[in-house]
Amino acid sequence: MSSQMERFNESLVGRYTIEREIGRGGMATVYLATDQKHGRQVAVKVILPSIAYSISGERFLREIEIAARLAHPNILPLLDSGQANGFLYHVTPYMEGETLGKRLKRERELPIADSVQIAREIADALDYAHSEGIVHRDVKPENIILSRGHALIADFGVARAIEVGGGESLTETGIVLGTPAYMSPEQASAERSLDGRSDIYSLACVVYEMLGGEPPLMGRTSVATMARRLNESPTSLRVVRQSVHPGMEEVVHKALSRLPADRYGRANEFADALAATLSGAATPAARRVDAPPVKPSFWAELKRRKVYSVGAVYVVVAWLLVQIADTAFQ
């Protein structure tokens, strides 16, 4: 047991007994623990010291209490929160299963029907939270838990609580809240007044990854990724995976619009549009069902196959010379 874990365990005597570390993310370390009062296993998430040092514990706990009021079958509930011996923590049920992130690492792309089901359940949770005035701000595969055939979203309100608790001090220390691979353009540009459409963009990034194998507009660094979000449009999903319905591609790309006003207004609208394309029904955004498949360009096909070797370069040059020769003799 690490010294940090031992100190934290000592501060929770009589309430929780820490058993082992089960996860670590950009904002917290997660421990499996026993709730001594109720005799059940729980997940205790401890805010990283580098972040906790920069935020007001009182403001953090006050803000996270708001998120604790959320009650929805696809939202992992918040059971408890507190401050002990300098540690800030919150407690959720321990769920059997795995995160969507782990499943994607194992399978890379998911079946289309599974992707739509997961999106619909998470969208319903987001839609409910948005109606209560709460934006998640960190929708990503690692915060989506797959348990007993259903998807649940975790850490509602945590990013907002850290932001409110930290204020300007977080900016001064260079701490970035959220995950660049799934950030909306407005979140990447550090806008404070985010609404539900930011979460819709993040969920669309997750859907794009479930269908295409990686999030859209990825760069070599976090900064490069955020810059691409502000200046570029995603690669067509059907270039990456031709089995994606033409209408589904349009639905996902609409949700990935750079301007919030061009996206769906509600998460459930996005999910319903996805489901309509799965059943083959027409959607306002979709092309005709019998439209010919999108043929990838020569360069897009090279990129999809990751052909970057020196030998491949010679092949490309030879191909271009043949095309030039054919043109000259016509």
Residues marked as catalytic:
138
Q: Rounded to an integer, what distance in angstroms lies between the CA atom of residue 79 and that of residue 291?
A: 50
